A and B are shown apart, each in its own frame.
Chain A
Amino acid sequence: MRVKVTVDPLTRIEGHLGIEAVVDNGKVVEARCAGTLYRGFEQILAGRDPLDAVQITQRLCGVCPTAHALASSQCLDNAFGIMPPRNGRIIRNLIQGANYIQSHILHFYHLAALDFVRGPDFPPFVPRYESDYRLPDKVSQEIVSHYVQALHIRLKAHEMSAVFSGKMPHCASVVPGGVTVTPAVDKITTFLWRLKELRDFIDNVYIPDVLTIARVYRDYGEIGAGCRRFLSWGAFDLDDEPDVARRKRYFRMGRCVGGQPEPADPSKVAEDVSFSWYKAAPPASPAVSRTEPDRRKEGAYSWLKAPRYDGAPHEVGPLARAMVNLNGGPPELVKALEQALTELRWKRENLCSVTGRHLARALETQALANAMAEWVLQIKLDEPVAVGHKIPESAEGMGLWDASRGALGHWISIRNQKIARYQAVVPTTWNASPHDGKNQPGPIEEALLGAPVGDGNNPFALARIVRSFDPCIACAVHLVTPRGRELGVARIV
């Protein structure tokens, strides 16, 4: 029997996303993933001073604004033809790194863990799907206590960002050409002791909890594979090479298709709007594409566009970085991934799954936190943190950077020293994208296909799959337009 299962809104994610699945004989045979809000950042930015972009694009989101500061400042670096000095590069990395740690811990404990761990029996932990909690009570209670501890740990991570960014969220010190903060010994030590506490938590709490869930929910190491094509722009610059494609980054830039490494060329990215509420247009590069809403467009079902690489959907995020970096990425990350595979008796393809995504997220948090402890000591107190800039009459710029949730690109066109056009292609636009002109589903839609849905009123498997991607719709959709919405048959809180 075919039934339609609607989860709208899907909660415990960032922003507003609706899922519609057609279930036949207990399995998903069709899935649609809809961004239900429109935002107008492209329109807000047009006509403004290019320097405003770094501050305004951060307002796309309160969870990972830092990545927009980084992508936007790199986009302007590129347009202005400048590169930050070593200190500027390192401090940007530290600000971003602290936010990665914060964001990943937030996602696991405060958004996703309650899919697997029975929380307390009072609001906001209820109502919930009452089924398939497999952990013994004692283990559940322990992880709930980590949920509480993680609130304090995230505070530490925010403080760590703020040491160099002035405040969190929405950092103040990142600018084209570097940063505006002067390093000092007290800043470095206060950063380091917080980092030490975070690393203890990551090593001794976060990773063991993820492994516990991966072991107990073993079938979720096979559920929710997705499109198996991965893209990462890479992140955390390790040298000052102006060409982003040749720059050395801690997380490498690249793709992985069918388990094989492939290069990533930003000129092959195009945004498809066949099923999106935007004026019909052929797929176009974000360097030239337009964002013109058309809310009455026939057949459309999402405010998200569908970015494609060389015409194909690609998953982005920690799993994509793991797949790309397994071939020649940071040795300690590769080693940690391989160790975990052995420990779980997993094959590499098991990583392409619900628990695989959680594992990839946790292990990159650990590798990154360890690397940051070295980076902070590479700051030279007597060296500059920024170079000056001159706003050109006319220029094009591109900033490519991996946010905690995946590949993020900013594109700018400057005319008469003002922003003529701005475009951001953000991680969740890749992952939660709708179908495209070739009728290919987006990565989350594809991951839902075949998912077991026992009871249409209790579609916990769907929620687990979608949440494993850490969707963040706040920045994925292009002004908030209130829209009448039929409440689905299921409501998750």
Chain B
Amino acid sequence: MNGGPPRAAKILVAGVGNLLLGDEGAGIHAVRELARQAPPGVDIVDAGTALGEIVGRLGGYRKLILVDAVEAGGAPGQIVRLEIRDENDLAAAPLPLSLHELGVAEALRQARLLGLLPPQVVLLGVQPARIAPGLKLSAAVARALPALVEAIRAEAAQPLI
């Protein structure tokens, strides 16, 4: 299949998460911060809780950088980088009851099936401290946010494979 439309930008940065659930929205906070001074050659998208809804926009890029809160067992605010070679690198979400409940792994699988998955996918995450209703980030994650944004800039500056 085609790999999507030709794009001026080579890299897509997608923030994933739920702004209403405290640290769960870290990915969105990060891409919003990044967008104040977007790096050249990079498109930025706020995917919210519905990466599956924007699968159609993933095509045509050489690299996808996902930014999300990640449960990696580390200290709150710790930043992790995960190269996603195939979707088995991510734990599958429990079977959804509706199409509104598809997780990141399912969205990436769909993108691959549709021939729209960029050849390189990197997940940049931050270990959350508190996932509960609320608009604010925890102190630990708020402190880590500038470092997360820097990590995105560094990732986007890497030579493309």
Give chain A's interface residues, CB within 8 Å of chain B.
120, 122-124, 126-127, 144, 148-149, 151-152
Give chain B's interface residues, CB within 8 Å of chain A.
1-2, 87, 92-93, 95-96, 99, 102, 105-106, 109-110, 113-115
> Could you say which of B1, B87, B93, B96 contacts A148, with CB atoms under 8 Å apart?
B1
- Measured between beta carbons, the chain A residues less than 8 angstroms from B95 are 123, 126-127
* Nearest CB on B from A11, distance (A): 10
Verify A120–B102 contact, CB threshold 8 A.
Answer: no
Q: How far is the CA of A472 from the CA of B61 in the complex (A)?
A: 38
Verify A122–B92 contact, CB threshold 8 A.
Answer: yes
Q: How far is the CA of A126 from the CA of B105 in the complex (A)?
A: 14
* Nearest CB on A from B99, distance (A): 6
Q: How far is the CA of A144 from the CA of B113 in the complex (A)?
A: 9
- Measured between beta carbons, the chain B residues less than 8 angstroms from A126 are 95
Q: Nearest chain-A residue to B95 (Cβ)? A: A127
Q: How far is the CA of A26 from the CA of B96 in the complex (A)?
A: 31
- Measured between beta carbons, the chain B residues less than 8 angstroms from A122 are 87, 92, 105-106, 109-110
Q: How far is the CA of A148 from the CA of B96 in the complex (A)?
A: 22
* Nearest CB on A from B114, distance (A): 6
- Measured between beta carbons, the chain B residues less than 8 angstroms from A123 are 93, 95-96, 99, 102, 106
Q: How far is the CA of A120 from the CA of B108 in the complex (A)?
A: 13
- Measured between beta carbons, the chain A residues less than 8 angstroms from B113 are 120, 144, 148
A sample of 6 inter-chain contacts (CB < 8 A) reads A120-B113, A123-B102, A123-B106, A124-B102, A126-B95, A127-B95
* Nearest CB on A from B92, distance (A): 7
Q: How far is the CA of A148 from the CA of B116 in the complex (A)?
A: 11
Verify B96–A149 contact, CB threshold 8 A.
Answer: no
Contact residues of A: prevailing secondary structure: loop
Q: How far is the CA of A459 from the CA of B134 in the complex (A)?
A: 45
Verify B99–A124 contact, CB threshold 8 A.
Answer: yes
Q: How far is the CA of A152 from the CA of B110 in the complex (A)?
A: 15
Q: Nearest chain-B residue to A145 (Cβ)? A: B1
> Could you say which of B1, B87, B105, B109 contacts A152, with CB atoms under 8 Å apart?
B1
* Nearest CB on B from A143, distance (A): 13
A148 with B115, Cβ < 8 A, contacts A123-B95, A127-B95 known: yes
* Nearest CB on B from A141, distance (A): 11
> Could you say which of A124, A144, A149 contacts B1, with CB atoms under 8 Å apart?
A149
Q: How far is the CA of A148 from the CA of B110 in the complex (A)?
A: 10
- Measured between beta carbons, the chain A residues less than 8 angstroms from B102 are 123-124
- Measured between beta carbons, the chain A residues less than 8 angstroms from B87 are 122
- Measured between beta carbons, the chain B residues less than 8 angstroms from A127 are 95
* Nearest CB on A from B160, distance (A): 26
* Nearest CB on A from B113, distance (A): 6
> With A122-B105, A126-B95, A148-B113 given, can you name 18 additional A-B contacts, CB distance below 8 Å?
A120-B109, A120-B113, A122-B109, A122-B110, A123-B93, A123-B95, A123-B96, A123-B99, A123-B102, A123-B106, A124-B96, A127-B95, A148-B1, A148-B114, A148-B115, A149-B1, A152-B1, A152-B2
Q: How far is the CA of A151 from the CA of B114 in the complex (A)?
A: 9
* Nearest CB on B from A137, distance (A): 16
- Measured between beta carbons, the chain A residues less than 8 angstroms from B110 are 122
Q: How far is the CA of A123 from the CA of B108 in the complex (A)?
A: 11
* Nearest CB on A from B121, distance (A): 16
Q: How far is the CA of A126 from the CA of B99 in the complex (A)?
A: 11
- Measured between beta carbons, the chain A residues less than 8 angstroms from B99 are 123-124
Q: How far is the CA of A152 from the CA of B106 in the complex (A)?
A: 21
Q: How far is the CA of A127 from the CA of B105 in the complex (A)?
A: 16
- Measured between beta carbons, the chain A residues less than 8 angstroms from B114 are 148, 151
Which of B106, B109, B113 is the most central at the interface, judged by chain A CB atoms within 10 Å of its CB?
Answer: B113
* Nearest CB on A from B125, distance (A): 21
Which of A120, A123, A124, A127 is the most central at the interface, judged by chain B CB atoms within 10 Å of its CB?
Answer: A123
* Nearest CB on B from A123, distance (A): 5
* Nearest CB on B from A221, distance (A): 31
- Measured between beta carbons, the chain B residues less than 8 angstroms from A120 are 109, 113
Q: Nearest chain-B residue to A121 (Cβ)? A: B109
- Measured between beta carbons, the chain B residues less than 8 angstroms from A124 are 96, 99, 102
Q: How far is the CA of A122 from the CA of B114 in the complex (A)?
A: 13
Q: How far is the CA of A127 from the CA of B93 in the complex (A)?
A: 13
- Measured between beta carbons, the chain B residues less than 8 angstroms from A149 are 1
